[in-house]
Amino acid sequence: MKMTGGPASMNIKLALIIADATIAFGTLFYTQNLVGRLQQREKDIVQLYASSLEYGASVETINSDFTFVFQNIIARIDFPIILTDQNDKVNYTGAGKGYKNIEYDQKLSDQKLKILLQEKVIELSKQHVPILVKIPDGQVIQKIYYGDSDIIRRLRFYPYLQILFALVFLIIAYTSFSYVKKSEQRNIWVGMSKETAHQLGTPISSLMGWNEMLKMSYSNQDKVLDISDEIGSDLMRLSKITKRFSKIGSKPELIDENPYEIIVSVINYFQRRLPQLGKNVLISIEGDEKQKVKLNVELFEWVIENLIKNALDAIDSKKGQITFKVERINNKIEIDISDNGKGIEHNRRKDIFRPGYSTKRRGWGLGLSLSKRIIEDYHNGKIFVKQSIINAGTTFKIILNTSENIT
């Protein structure tokens, strides 16, 4: 059985990295595109401002209507802007003073304010090429220096924060995945060890019992022969257990088999050994005895044994009942396994097939998980809890394709 992370584990990790990188760089591209559009919008506003100045310079008189338009254009500006003459000297006084959204101490003297604004002109010139204000003959009379608004400055840093968050998420997800994977592998190793011990426990206990009976019955030849047959059955079971574990992790060979007969053979094995297990349980079977199904005998027997053991563990009453019902329905073979045990809570019905989950004090939660894998992965069938009533019993259902329904 292959227990390492394998290609699937690496694929999941690679998918996490690719998804994380896609989100990060997608965000970066989208944000930069948005920043570019906002910058173009602000440039268009500055250009409109420049056009207004050019219009004002081309008329002989600036009337109040123009002043109204001019003030409304300026009112739309929410980013740093400085108006200078053709020699980059700031116009810092007057009704239409040549700067807006420049942070400075209101207590500064005019001289210090001039120095500050000239320094800002140099700073803004590094951000954007100034917009030129020209008169009709093409002569530059003013320049408009502008910078980025607060929202653009924030958006510039946003994608890098997003990438940082994505990297943190990737590290946490990768570390968590690795931890869960390693924890799962440890649980499976422990479970497999216990499952092996459990599988070997029944035939070994039987062999020990048969050995004691041989000692007491050595003079009774018929009894000795009967015990010898049972020892042979247990030895064959040990051989089957070895084959079962060798098949887990590899594709098993499926051939036409009669599930009814296989179930009968497993029932007979358990029925002879139930007294030794301290259980007064009747195991019976009914239904269609002739249908064929593509099966691997060793693995299918393992499923039936796990279901019987699960039912035996669930039965607390002195007289227990486990019933198998085999029938054909619409090109499917359906097998119901019912018991009169303690039942399963409704919200736990899916958990019982999860590796490591068990309601038993000394359980290891691998039997039903292996059964599910054998039926669904290896035999392309289904296994699930059909119904369960607390303190009344549980019915499992197995659905398999008939031999003629296999493509």
What is the pLDDT, as a whole number, of residue 5? Answer: 44
In order of 307, 377, 391, the CA distances from 318 in angstroms are 19, 37, 14
Token pair of 136 as six digits = 């009709």
Instruction: Extract long-range pairs of 183-191: CB within 8 Å, 24+ residues apart.
Output: 184/355, 184/356, 185/3, 185/4, 185/5, 187/355, 187/356, 188/3, 188/355, 188/356, 188/366, 189/3, 190/364, 191/355, 191/356, 191/364, 191/365, 191/366, 191/369
Residue 24 contacts residue 163 (beta carbons within 8 Å) = yes
Of the ranges 175-184, 219-228, 281-290, the best mean pLDDT one: 281-290
Please determine, for residue 202, whether its predicted confidence score (pLDDT) is greater than 80: no
Please determine, for residue 36, whether its predicted confidence score (pLDDT) is greater than 90: no
Mean pLDDT of 93-103: 66
The values of phi and psi at residue 403, to 5°, are: -60, -40
3-class state of residue 96 by DSSP: coil
What is the pLDDT, as a whole number, of residue 351? Answer: 80
Only one residue has tokens 């906002």, namely 38
What is the pLDDT, as a whole number, of residue 340? Answer: 92
Q: Is the pTM of this model over 0.85?
A: no
Token pair of 201 as six digits = 């426990």
Rounded Cα gap, residues 321 and 352, in angstroms: 21
For 300, the enclosing helix (H) or strand (E) is: helix 297-314
What is the pLDDT, as a whole number, of residue 157? Answer: 75
Mean pLDDT of 324-337: 93
Residue 13 contacts residue 177 (beta carbons within 8 Å) = yes
Pick 229 or 347 by higher pLDDT: 347
**Contacts for 405 with CB less than 8 Å, ≥ 6 apart:** 331, 332
What is the pLDDT, as a whole number, of residue 4? Answer: 40
Pick 294 or 193 by higher pLDDT: 294
Rounded Cα gap, residues 92 and 114, in angstroms: 7
Mean pLDDT of 303-326: 88
Q: How confident is the model at residue 335 (pLDDT cuts 50, 70, 90)?
A: very high
**Contacts for 274 with CB less than 8 Å, ≥ 6 apart:** 280, 281, 283
What is the pLDDT, as a whole number, of residue 96? Answer: 47
**Contacts for 43 with CB less than 8 Å, ≥ 6 apart:** 128, 131, 146
Q: How confident is the model at residue 55 (pLDDT cuts 50, 70, 90)?
A: low
Residue 386 contacts residue 396 (beta carbons within 8 Å) = yes
Mean pLDDT of 299-310: 90
* HSE-CB for 43 with a 13 A CA cutoff: 12
Please determine, for residue 69, whether its predicted confidence score (pLDDT) is greater than 60: no
pLDDT digits (tens, 9 = 90+) for 141-199: 888 888 887 777 777 777 777 778 777 877 887 787 777 766 666 666 555 655 665 56
